[in-house]
Structure 1
Amino acid sequence: MPSTVALLSIALMSCVMSAAVLGSLLRANVRGVARWCAAYGIFSVGIGLVLDKAHVPPWLGIAFAHGLFLLGSFAILQGAREFFGRNKATAPEYAAVVAVYIALLYFIYVRPNLDASVFVTSAYFAYIRAAVGWTALRYRPAHRPKYSYYFLGIAALVGALLHLARSIAYGFGWDHQTAFLDPSPLNIAFLGLGILSFPFMSIGMVMLAHDRLAERMERLATIDELTGSLVRRAFMERADAAVAASQASGTPLALAILDLDNFKAVNDRHGHAAGDCALVHFASTVLKSLRSGDLFGRLGGEEFAVLFPATREAEALQLMNGLRLAIAAHPCGQTPYTFSAGVDEFGPGDRLARVLARADAALYTAKALGRDCVVMASSHGESDEQVEQPG
């Protein structure tokens, strides 16, 4: 049977490696990682104090180590909540940390009772692990893969159950400690299983950090950094999926292509920074006006597209004209601009490229009519366009 010293040595190596791995992610600036890294560093120091009996008196090392273990565990909970954008801790939780440490000091120095100290600390660790597990499962982003969040959540909850069982065992007198880290079979079993939870927890934290980095990369690949709209590739992919769904269900689907009028002149007259400001203002106004399910993408330069599920072309015309009026009512500071748009509806068997071409032709008609207007092309590609002009 392994000794408590051997188990603590394994725990020390595990914590040092976990701190090193999490430390490698600090430059990624993922929320919560810094606290997780610090927590494993704190655990490492605490375990080192317990093991270094030659230089640290046991009566002093144990007290400091317990304080570090409490602090490190609390930092893990704070890191988990910070990662998910929640409040890091409540006032009662801060008070509980202080109260638990005072109780430990009491059971170590005032009225020595190792069973009581194990009961208190294990109950505290059980709460911390349960809170971490609940946070990971409760606030898991719905749009992200589940595996890493379930891994951390389950690992934390299993650790909570182990600490709860240890607290109950010593609280009800089913086992007793005659010395700190008494090598009884039950204590060895609890320590071994508890130490195993350290790498599982750190692996779960690293997985969450990598998922956050993957989400950032996916966003960079799908979202236009300047305007917040979908990039062309992402828009086309999602639009193709929406077209297939519309064709399968028989629901209407409309498309609009929008282009800022005389945008080159805006850049030449006011500068590219002002042009960017106009693009940001335009995209922000569009995004605010979109309905749930609408797709908005930047096709290139100052040209954008909006896909309207469950929408007829006449309704899309009205929506575009409402957008045009909204921009006129709230212009972009010292860089006023207008836009023109072409609108079309998908017919039976229509492909995205075909409707894009028809909407683009309607857009050019809007430009020829003097700009700052919306033109609706026939869904059959005929010339009976309808126009929504200023006024």
Structure 2
Amino acid sequence: MSCLTSVAILGSLYRTAVPGLARWCLAYTLLAAASLLVVMSGVPLARGVIVVTALLTIVSVLLLVQGTREFFGMSAVCRRELAAAAVAFAVMVYFTEISPDTDARVLLFSLVLAYGRIGVGTLTLRYAPRDGARYAYRFVAAAAYLGALIHVSRIAAIAAGVAPHGTLLQPTTWNTLVLGLAIVTLPCMSIGMVMLTHDRLIRRMEWLATVDELTGILMRRAFISQANRMLGESSHARPSLSVALLDIDNFKLINDGFGHAAGDRMLRHVASVVSGQLRPSDVFGRLGGEEFAIVFVGALEAEAEALTNALRLAVEQTPSSGVCCTLSAGVSRVAQGESLEDVMARADTALYMAKATGRNRVVTAPPGDRQACTDVSARA
């Protein structure tokens, strides 16, 4: 019932297509099948039932660990792990069919389960995101490590001769304790995996709400929000900020002459080139259409002009799929106490002048004056 509950919980999120979720669901399904097979067979277990149960359990443990790797964006399959699983199954068959030994089987069975729990817990802690809430990741790790501790304790007790000999189905106090703790930690781990899935979905929605899907940079609303926050911080720390508006020259001609697919490739190309040239502190976003915006941190007019001109040259010198494009840009420094709207309006006026005076150039607007713009077109 514990395994079936886990399958139902995880299966409710199957359509989200979160990486690793399918493997987790299959793992708990196999554990449920193994448990049902044992319950239906009764005591003592037939050798064939032991072998099949061992196979289902080993495969389910592999799937749990593989699903966790896949969830964190890694390759799911590890060849050494597969080889170790094959060896473990072969040893289990040996101690069942060739040289029957209950204690050896129990030790090996517990070792496999402990490995799966430790693997899930370690991967979850190691690759948990460093930003945002981390409660779900710690919850999964705690449930996994607690389950591993149960199996490790069982191994130590059997090795020391403290635990009674025999299988878990025999009604002893020790077996009741081990099974009870295992039943509690198993759904806890699956509930934690549901929490991980929800966290992934929330992060995905946040990404869709802030990142332009076509270019992979900030969309307008996210850029404006981040830029306003930076302006608020600058009023206290007083760092120099400058804003640049960039526009792809004759973009309509690219769309009309080569098609909208080529236009989309051009937008991605420009965003990629500019992103690669920016400093880590700068903020880059797409305002809409072929217009982009940048906030330069710690840059006055001269430096912002030079940085923007370098971006213009980088785009001009790297054609996309044989199609060349150029940028026009307007730059404006943020004056003390000035709003983002005022700065962007002044930069937009400078951008309009760059377009009107020949394109493929950068025009800087002095702070506090929307009309007075100085042409600082790049020198070849």
TM-score (norm 2): 0.94
Q: Does the Cα contact within 8 Å between 1:374 and 1:389 map onto a contact in 2? A: yes
Aligned-partner Cα distance in 2 for 1:219–1:101: 43
Instruction: Report the counterpart of residue 380 of structure 1 in structure 2.
Output: 368
1:193 to 165, 181, 184: 181
1:217 to 189, 195, 205: 205
Asked if residue 152 in structure 1 is aligned to residue 140 in structure 2, the reply is: yes
Which residues in structure 2 correspond to 1:237-248 (within 5 Å)?
237-248=225-236
Q: Out of 264-273 and 128-137, give the one that drifted further.
A: 264-273
Q: Does the Cα contact within 8 Å between 2:274 and 2:315 map onto a contact in 1? A: no
Q: Does the Cα contact within 8 Å between 2:364 and 2:375 map onto a contact in 1? A: yes
Instruction: Report the counterpart of residue 316 of structure 1 in structure 2.
Output: 304
Q: Where do 5+ consecutive residues of structure 2 fail to align?
A: none
Instruction: Report the counterpart of residue 69 of structure 2 in structure 1.
Output: 81
Q: Out of 177-186 and 212-221, give the one that drifted further.
A: 177-186
Which residues in structure 2 correspond to 1:54-203 (within 5 Å)?
58-179=46-167, 181-203=169-191
Q: Does the Cα contact within 8 Å between 2:95 and 2:101 map onto a contact in 1? A: yes
Deviation of residue 322 (structure 1)?
Answer: 0.9
Instruction: Report the counterpart of residue 263 of structure 2 in structure 1.
Output: 275
Instruction: Report the counterpart of residue 220 of structure 2 in structure 1.
Output: 232
Secondary structure of the corresponding residue to residue 292 of structure 1: coil
How much identity, in percent, do the aligned residues show? 44
Q: Does the Cα contact within 8 Å between 2:154 and 2:163 map onto a contact in 1? A: no
Q: Does the Cα contact within 8 Å between 1:372 and 1:390 map onto a contact in 2? A: no
Secondary structure of the corresponding residue to residue 299 of structure 1: strand
Structure 1 residue identity aligned to 2:135: Y
Asked if residue 261 in structure 1 is aligned to residue 216 in structure 2, the reply is: no
Structure 2 residue identity aligned to 1:71: V
Structure 1 residue identity aligned to 2:355: K
Aligned-partner Cα distance in 1 for 2:84–2:126: 23
Instruction: Report the counterpart of residue 33 of structure 1 in structure 2.
Output: 21
CA spacing shift, 1:268–1:90, aligned 2, 3 Å: closer
Aligned-partner Cα distance in 2 for 1:274–1:94: 45
Instruction: Report the counterpart of residue 5 of structure 2 in structure 1.
Output: 17
Q: CA offsets, 1:80-138, max 9 Å, x none?
A: 11111224344332232222223323333333332232222212211221111010000
Q: Out of 15-24 and 244-253, give the one that drifted further.
A: 15-24
Aligned residues: 379
Q: Out of 149-158 and 21-30, give the one that drifted further.
A: 21-30
CA spacing shift, 1:267–1:96, aligned 2, 3 Å: closer
Q: Out of 197-206 and 378-387, give the one that drifted further.
A: 378-387
Aligned-partner Cα distance in 2 for 1:167–1:79: 26
Q: CA offsets, 1:251-308, max 9 Å, x none?
A: 1111101112222233233332222222122111111112112111111211110111
Structure 1 residue identity aligned to 2:377: E
Aligned-partner Cα distance in 2 for 1:179–1:263: 74
Q: CA offsets, 1:342-366, max 9 Å, x none?
A: 1111121122111111111111111
Q: Does the Cα contact within 8 Å between 1:148 and 1:207 map onto a contact in 2? A: yes
Q: Does the Cα contact within 8 Å between 2:362 and 2:377 map onto a contact in 1? A: yes
Aligned-partner Cα distance in 2 for 1:287–1:253: 18
Aligned-partner Cα distance in 1 for 2:28–2:44: 21
TM-score (norm 1): 0.91
Structure 2 residue identity aligned to 1:379: P
Structure 1 residue identity aligned to 2:159: G
Secondary structure of the corresponding residue to residue 359 of structure 2: coil
Structure 1 residue identity aligned to 2:136: S
Deviation of residue 386 (structure 1)?
Answer: 4.5
Asked if residue 290 in structure 1 is aligned to residue 286 in structure 2, the reply is: no
CA spacing shift, 1:99–1:372, aligned 2, 3 Å: same
Structure 2 residue identity aligned to 1:131: G
Aligned-partner Cα distance in 1 for 2:257–2:54: 68
Q: Where do 5+ consecutive residues of structure 1 fail to align?
A: 1-12
Structure 1 residue identity aligned to 2:293: A
Deviation of residue 173 (structure 1)?
Answer: 0.8
Asked if residue 347 in structure 1 is aligned to residue 330 in structure 2, the reply is: no
Instruction: Report the counterpart of residue 3 of structure 1 in structure 2.
Output: none
Q: Does the Cα contact within 8 Å between 1:116 and 1:170 map onto a contact in 2? A: no
Q: Out of 175-184 and 162-171, give the one that drifted further.
A: 175-184
Instruction: Report the counterpart of residue 8 of structure 1 in structure 2.
Output: none
CA spacing shift, 1:157–1:54, aligned 2, 3 Å: closer
Secondary structure of the corresponding residue to residue 298 of structure 1: strand
Aligned-partner Cα distance in 1 for 2:73–2:373: 53
